[in-house]
Amino acid sequence: MSKIYTLISILSLAVLGLILSSSEQGDGPEVAYTSADIADFYAFRGAQSDKTVFVVTIQSPLSIGTVSQKARFDPEVLIEFNIDNDGDFKEDLVIQAIPRDSIMYFFGPSPVSEQQQGRSSEINVSDLIGSVQISSLEQTYVTQLDSISLFAGPRRDPFFFDQDRFTLIQNGTAAPEGFNAAAEALDAYADSNVLCVAITLPTELLGVAPTHVLNNYGAFNLPNAYNVWVSTKRKY
Amino acid sequence: MERLLIRFSLVLSLTALTFVACEDADDFNNVIEQVSCSDGMQNGDETGVDCGGICPECLDGLDFSGVYVQQDIAGRPAINSVLNIAGPFQDAFNRSIVSARGNQDFIDGANNQTFPGIFSENLQQYFIGYTINEQPASFDNNVLGFDIAGFAEFLATTDALQLAAEGTTTYRNTDLWFTGRNLSDDVMDTTLLLMFGGPEGDRFNGVNGPMLISDGVGPGDRQFLTDFPYLEAPLTQ
């Protein structure tokens, strides 16, 4: 570890704790508080057993009022849901979302060749799924296609954590008793919003799932599972 | 001329079908589906060739060209803020791809550093100053059976949400691990359990040492929806 990194590391633990936050919220100085800053990523079954929901939240935290009112998706920032369905942690399919004017456009799931995998992407225009009017604080818009639903807009931040107490713990001995009991614990995200992009689609569109990765690490018997992640990519 | 005639006759026949369909409202959608969104012509209620109406929107005039380069990435919650603490390494993580974070992959811009190595170092630092039964404590495996190096390597190289193709999705529910992430899942308690809970999950439970395996916070008064888009409406006051 170089001296610079050692110094930065110590400073981080002692001082920069204030700007650190959990989940992906506010991470990395270069991306923190930009229009490409991912807060959280969710993937779940949803109301219908044959469908999967992907949700990403970005630009956290948006305080209530003017900040939430003014929050906008960036037409230069592509949001990409990545699906690995063969277990090598390289994306085999992507679902893309990007805004134009007041509309969010969705593309995919598009197959990704080996040459296309990695940090750079182009938009798969020929795989347009559809679009949705971007919601506002007052009005929610959802596009319901035959088997796919689309949403983009501000929502209440679903993420919950006693961030301030954790920062003290991260700083070493500042919190000798550790976390507070429920009565004293404070959820740092309870009163804020985020920008959200969500899609529901038939799970079969994700291909056949590989062996659950944790089964390779011990005597687990977990069901076959895709590996999924989200990325933001800015126009170069 | 031939093409025009063919198109004209197709339109006529489709119009005829539509008229037939109008007599039976239940069949209306079926007939519209026969107007293909990939037949290379504007028909049905399309507003352009194979777009508009029941087909995808027309993208005329919209520019989706160009190359987009990664700024941020997220799989499991909290990895790049809890286990990767220094800003320059966080930035490097955000630029990196999941499959290039192994024990052999040096971090871009840092000599001989790897993400598993950094995660392991940072994980150890959390234990400085904490005791159990007044004895200094350190990471002591976890409920998944990982030692500290194995845990760091697992988190770095498999940083994605695992999503079960069928059945229950949960970040953790008793013995069901990593089959998805629901909005209401207490992912931070799960993360803390894996960091501090030891092999049985009962270390740092606040009895003989500090409470580090739960932050005491749940979803609170959030009201997740039972249907799409599932997230609660934004707060306005």
pLDDT digits over A56-111, tens only?
A: 999 999 999 999 999 999 999 999 999 999 999 999 999 999 999 999 999 999 99
Interatomic CA distance for residues B184 and B221, integer angstroms: 11
Confidence of residue B36 (pLDDT cuts 50, 70, 90): confident
Q: Does the distance separating the beta carbons of B229 and A8 come in below 8 Å?
A: no
pLDDT digits over A113-170, tens only?
A: 999 999 999 999 989 999 999 999 999 999 999 899 999 999 999 999 999 999 999 8
Contacts of A216 (CB under 8 A, 6+ apart): none
CB distance from B231 to chain A under 8 Å?
Answer: yes
pLDDT at B45: 82
For B80, the closest of A27, A149, A226 (CB atoms) is: A27
What 3-state DSSP class applies to A172?
A: coil
Q: Does the distance separating the beta carbons of A41 and B181 come in below 8 Å?
A: yes
Q: Which residue of B has its CA nearest to A11?
A: B86
pTM to 2 decimal places: 0.86
pLDDT at A172: 76
pLDDT digits over B211-220, tens only?
A: 999 999 999 9
Confidence of residue B23 (pLDDT cuts 50, 70, 90): very low
Q: Which of B9, B63, B234 is nearest to A194 (CA)?
A: B234
* pLDDT score of A195 more than 60: yes
Identify the residue among B235, B236, B237 best suited for mutation to test binding to A, counting A beta carbons within 10 A and taking the highest: B235
Give the dihedral of Cα atoms A30, A38, A232, A88; nearest 10 deg.
Answer: 110
Q: Does the distance separating the beta carbons of A138 and B86 come in below 8 Å?
A: no
Bridge-partner residues for B185, per DSSP? none
Q: What is the mean pLDDT of residues A168-176?
A: 82
pLDDT at B44: 83
Q: Which tops the pLDDT comparison, B40 or A100?
A: A100
CA angle B26/B39/B10 to nearest 5° reads 70
Identify the residue among A15, A23, A137 best suited for mutation to test binding to B, counting B beta carbons within 10 A and taking the highest: A23
What share of chain A has pLDDT > 90, as a percent? Answer: 82
Confidence of residue B177 (pLDDT cuts 50, 70, 90): very high
pLDDT at B96: 96
Contacts of A189 (CB under 8 A, 6+ apart): A25, A60, A61, A157, A159, A160, A161, A163
Bridge-partner residues for B162, per DSSP? A227
Q: Calculate the alpha carbon distances from A54 to A79, A203, B225 in Å.
A: 12, 11, 15
* Residue A109 in tokens: 């799931």
Q: Give the amino acid at A83.
A: I
Q: Which of A16, A70, A68, A147 is nearest to B84 (CA)?
A: A16
* Residue B118 in tokens: 């950094």
| Chain A: closest CA distance from residue B175 (Å) | 9
Q: Which residue of B has its CA nearest to A12?
A: B86
Interatomic CA distance for residues B121 and B68, integer angstroms: 33
pLDDT at A112: 98
Interatomic CA distance for residues A209 and A107, integer angstroms: 21
Q: What is the mean pLDDT of residues A22-46?
A: 85
- Cβ proximity of A46 and A53 under 8 Å: yes
What share of chain B has pLDDT > 70, as a percent? Answer: 85
pLDDT at A174: 76
Cβ within 8 Å of A, B 2-61: 56-57, 59
Q: Quote ipTM for the complex.
A: 0.91
Query: Within A71-147, where are the H helices?
Result: none
Greatest alpha-carbon pair distance for chain B in Å reads 93
